[in-house]
Amino acid sequence: MNIFIELPTWLGDTIMTTPAIEELVKLYPNTKITFFGSYISTEALKSHPQTLHAKVDESKKSKFRLYYLYKTAKKLETFDLAISFRSSFTSKLFLWLLHAKEKIQYKKNFYSGHQVEKYAKVLQVNPKDLKLYKKPFIYTRPTLGINPGATYGSAKRWYPEEFAKVANHFSKEYDIVIFGGPDEVAIANEVEKLIDAQVTNLAGKTNITELIEKIAGLDLFVTNDSGPMHIAAAYKVPTVTLFGPTKHNETSQWNNPNGFIISHNLECAPCMKRTCPLKTHECMKGIKANEVIEVLENHLSLDK
């Protein structure tokens, strides 16, 4: 079985397709998969044992995007099944251009439930756990990871001083590691300055494989709603996630028994905006460090 899969653009969304992909592989155990998508998404899944190719979609960089997609589609082999987990017009066109016996495209507003369930419904399968094929990093001491960034926008971000208070509280028992992408270096540096202990700041310093491995090996994780949150869920890392403007019933950690959500569920939330339309940001500002500390101490394992 030769299968083509176009992945979502973002890391978190890509990870949320993995339960559907795993069920597909169970149905066709000898399948070979060609992954197609952003650099981030293909890097995250190229370690899958059924991967034949992982091709980066560089059409947005092309002067003539549609022509790029046309040439790419025509260069690819014939597939038994082609799946797109994206709902855009360009994905629809690209799917149409591919040589495939059967073609399936995700329809954004057609499904309901958690995003993992939405992706699974595309293939009519029952989703189980998230799955990534990277080996967890082995830390020398118990380690608490904090992720103060969120690519979607500032509305999803908790405050540096609150992250720092959590880190300071646990710094005698845990090494502290800060995570973040290239665009989140500034906020990571701000958090680092507020921590009264030695910190490993990895913001902007890891590739996708390293990011996955380092998060996978953590003992505890505190994060905003973000791609790294889903990495932690895939490895069932004990996690506290801060939710404000986004829908935690749709994008929270999937099947992580060690995952906890802190959300004040304000009347104005979830607004799904990149920045707070009310200029108060109370959905995140109202969450305090002591709430996170209490969850970590009372509900998550601290005796590793």
Give the closest residue to 167 by CA, choosing from 115, 240, 230, 258.
240
**pLDDT (tens digit, 0 to 9) for every residue of the chain, 304 residues total?**
999 999 999 999 999 999 999 999 999 989 999 999 999 999 999 999 999 999 999 999 999 999 999 999 999 999 999 999 999 999 999 999 999 999 999 998 888 999 999 999 999 999 999 999 999 999 999 999 999 987 766 788 899 999 999 999 999 999 999 999 999 999 999 999 999 999 999 999 999 999 999 999 999 999 999 999 999 999 999 999 999 888 899 999 999 999 999 999 888 888 888 888 888 878 888 999 999 999 999 877 565 4
The model's pTM is 0.95
Contact 15, 230 (CB under 8 A): yes
> How far is Cα 93 from Cα 96, in angstroms, rounded to an integer?
5
Name the DSSP class of 173. T
Confidence (pLDDT) at 269? 82
- Regarding the domain delimited by 143-299, which CATH topology (the fold level of the hierarchy) does it fall under? Rossmann fold (3.40.50)
Confidence (pLDDT) at 304? 45
Site of tokens 């720092």: 164
Kindly list the distances between the CA atom of residue 102 and the CA atoms of 10, 19, 80, 151, in Å, as whole numbers in the listed order: 25, 21, 6, 34
Confidence (pLDDT) at 102? 97
Contact 59, 46 (CB under 8 A): no
Largest Cα span, the chain: 60
Residues in the chain: 304
Contact 56, 42 (CB under 8 A): yes
Give the closest residue to 163 by CA, choosing from 181, 150, 182.
150
Contact 167, 176 (CB under 8 A): yes
Residue 205 CB burial class (10 angstroms; 0-12, 13-18, ≥19): middle
Contact 173, 142 (CB under 8 A): yes
Q: Does the fold of domain 143-299 match that of domain 2-123?
A: yes
Q: Where are the domains of the chain?
A: 2-123, 143-299
Token reading at 275: 């920045």
Confidence (pLDDT) at 153? 67
Single-letter code of the amino acid located at 51:
T
Helix 227-234 and helix 208-216, axial crossing angle in degrees, nearest 10: 50
Token reading at 269: 């939330």
- CATH level 2 (architecture), domain 2-123: 3-Layer(aba) Sandwich (3.40)
Q: Tell me the DSSP string of 19-82.
A: HHHHHHHHHSTT-EEEEEE-HHHHHHHTTSTTEEEEEE--GGGSSSHHHHHHHHHHHS--EEEE
Contact 138, 219 (CB under 8 A): no
